[in-house]
Amino acid sequence: MAGSWRVTIREGARVEKVRCGSLEEALSEIESRGRDLSRSARARPVDTKVLGRWEPQQQVAARLELGRRGGVDIRGDGSAEAYTGRLRRRLIEQRGDESPYDALRRVLG
C-alpha cells in the first residue's frame, strides 16, 4: 500500500503490528502506545552469574519501531529513549525539555 507506515510494538514476547496512513499518524501511534507502556513498565534487577547485574533502567521492557527508520525504547524503569536505525541504533539526543517522542519527530519528520 503506497504511503503506508508500519509500527511494530514489542513488549516481552508479544509483537503487534499496526499500519498507519501517514508518518505523523505513525509517530502519534508510537507516542500514545509508548506513554501507556511507560506507565506500566516495572522491571526488577536481574542478576546473572556470568554477565553481572542488570538494573531496570538498563533493560528494554518494550520497543516501538517505525520500520527501519527508528523508534523508541521503553526502559524497565518507565523511561523512554528515541533512536534512529535498526541494526545500528543511534540514540537521538533530546534538546531542552523535548520528549523522546518530540526528538523522534524532529529527526524523522
CA distance 53 to 47: 4
5: pLDDT strictly greater than 90:
yes
Give the global pTM. 0.87
83: pLDDT strictly greater than 60:
yes
pLDDT in tens, 25-72: 999 999 999 999 999 887 788 888 788 887 888 889 999 999 889 999
* Structural domain boundaries, residue 33: 5-108
Number of domains making up the chain = 1
Helices (H), the chain: 23-40, 100-108
Chain mean pLDDT for the chain: 91
CA distance 19 to 37: 19
Tell me if residue 66 falls in helix, strand or coil. Answer: strand
